[in-house]
Amino acid sequence: MRLLVRTGLCLVVLWFGLLGAGPVTEERGEAASELAQAGLASEMAAAATRPAAYQEEGAGSLIRADQLVDYSAEEAKTAAVKPTVYLTFDDGPSGKTKDVLAILKREGVKATFFMLGKEVKQYPDIARQVVKEGHAIGNHTYDHVYKELYSSFSAFAKQVMDTDDEIYKVTGVRTNLLRAPGGTFGNFDQGYYDALAKAGYIVNDWNVDSGDSARVGVPAKEIVSTVKGSRLSGKVVVLMHDSSIHGESVKALPEVIGYFKNKGYQFAVLTEQVKPIQFRLAPTLKWKRPKVTAQETQTLVQYTARTRTNLPELNTHSLIIHAGGDEIPFAPQDYKTLSGTIDVPLRQLAIGLHGIIRLDMANGVVEAMVNNQSVSWTAAEVGGSGTSLPSRIIVHLRETLQRFHFGISRITVTEGKREIWIGPSSL
């Protein structure tokens, strides 16, 4: 009997070893092992438990290490500098998003929110708050209905464009970050990837699943345990949710943040410069649909070309700002104009107005004191990411002057020169 038990145990150990659940060799590295923890478990189960508007039938199996793109070399470089975690929240905004934002603010952490167009329309103030507080926004399609999204690329693209427009209408942000509902594995074919790439969208999956959507009401304790049980590497993208049914995710968030802080991770937002985590193509799709056509691709490409071609104009004029008896000069290459909007270097403007600026590098905040008015910007608001401020901080001239309680009284443009007269306002 003992012999049979021992034999059975050996077979179990061998079975799990063959499936990749055993230890990972040093040659493969931490990156390969942590990829084995990433998966669609939360999204798949959520399909059966979400409200009717979200229900679909595309459940599949857990993502394994061999189903993801291998980023081990890149992650090794990242880890050599400082490991980074990107907290991401899907399916919002909702009332729970305000709770998430409060925690992030208290912890001094920035995150990325992949939003549904229909929820942005319902909660515009919360969407604007996300941007105002320096977090990043991504596109998560309009209504999350898998059966429609993956029936044809034209249907998927329409939801992407509708969400893009809704986000822009509410927040003024045009985002190229995109996350596919359910993740890409088994839902995307190469045609989806190619068409989105040609249109400039950057598709982001994840490599740590918090499990907060494995079913309705997953306890906070279980969410934390799932995150702590995941294999980590130098670059971690965590999947969480902030929809109305994810109160337990809110409860788990402080401990999740504390866990990564104790591990020595820095927090950052996803940007176009961050190489995305992406699942590999599945050998077979969950859906029967026609291939992506050239016309479908062209429609999306033309949309992004139309909505994102407002490039800074090449200046041929110098700029002079007259403030009382002082003149603040800007060479043509020192400022930018775009559709009548003028952007200038903050330092040059503040010093010219007899003010000072302070850089809080630890928290990624720049503050300027001008005309007895203190104004601050987060890194994300001035073109940085996370807590990293850009080397040259550029701000909108008119908006910044208004915040300093200055008004523009006159503008003239002559050959080779643009001049603006300003003075204290009564605001």
List the CATH number of the domain containing 117: 3.20.20.370
**Which is nearest to 179 in space by CA: 130, 211, 144, 134?**
144
pLDDT at 300 over 70: yes
Q: pLDDT tens, 11-24?
A: 443 333 333 333 33
Which residue would you say has higher pLDDT here, 119 or 134?
A: 119
Residues 303, 336, single domain; the answer is no
From 155-169, 212-226, 352-366, 379-393, the region with the lowest mean pLDDT? 379-393
Which residue would you say has higher pLDDT here, 286 or 48?
A: 286
Scanning 144-269, the segments in alpha helix (DSSP H) are 146-149, 153-171, 190-198, 220-228, 247-262
Residues 272, 327, single domain; the answer is no
**Which is nearest to 115 in space by CA: 102, 133, 103, 131?**
131
> In total, how many domains does the chain have?
2
Overall average pLDDT of the 228-249 stretch:
95
| Cβ-based neighbour number of residue 210 at 10 Å | 27
Residue 341 pLDDT class (50, 70, 90 cuts)? confident
Residues 95, 173, single domain; the answer is yes
Distance between CA atoms of 218 and 248, rounded to whole angstroms?
Answer: 7
21 lies in some domain = no
pLDDT of residue 381: 82
Which residue would you say has higher pLDDT here, 54 or 425?
A: 425
Question: Is 164 within 8 Å of 301 (Cβ atoms)?
Answer: no
Residues 358, 241, single domain; the answer is no
Residue 406 pLDDT class (50, 70, 90 cuts)? very high
Distance between CA atoms of 164 and 150, rounded to whole angstroms?
Answer: 18
Strands (DSSP E) contained in 300-352 are: 318-323, 326-330, 336-338, 341-345
Residues 241, 336, single domain; the answer is no
Query: What are 156's two structure tokens?
Result: 């998927």
14 lies in some domain = no
Residues 124, 198, single domain; the answer is yes
7 lies in some domain = no
Instruction: Give the single-character DSSP code of 111.
Output: -
Residue 132 pLDDT class (50, 70, 90 cuts)? confident
122 lies in some domain = yes
pLDDT of residue 386: 74
Which residue, 287, 307, 327, sits at the end of a domain? 307
Percent with pLDDT over 90 in the chain: 60
Distance between CA atoms of 71 and 237, rounded to whole angstroms?
Answer: 12
Residues 173, 111, single domain; the answer is yes
Which residue, 270, 287, 307, sits at the end of a domain? 307
- The parent domain of residue 383 ranges over 318-424
Residues 277, 340, single domain; the answer is no
pTM: 0.61
Overall average pLDDT of the 163-188 stretch:
94
pLDDT at 68 over 90: no
Overall average pLDDT of the 194-205 stretch:
94
The pLDDT mean for the chain works out to 82
pLDDT at 357 over 50: yes
pLDDT at 31 over 50: no
Residues 279, 336, single domain; the answer is no
pLDDT of residue 352: 95
413 lies in some domain = yes
Residues 324, 295, single domain; the answer is no
Overall average pLDDT of the 126-140 stretch:
93
From 44-53, 221-230, 248-257, the region with the lowest mean pLDDT? 44-53
Residues 241, 366, single domain; the answer is no
Residues 271, 347, single domain; the answer is no
18 lies in some domain = no
pLDDT of residue 415: 77
Distance between CA atoms of 238 and 207, rounded to whole angstroms?
Answer: 7
206 lies in some domain = yes
pLDDT at 6 over 70: no
Which residue, 307, 341, 358, sits at the end of a domain? 307
169 lies in some domain = yes
Residue 55 pLDDT class (50, 70, 90 cuts)? very low
pLDDT of residue 23: 30
Overall average pLDDT of the 390-397 stretch:
88
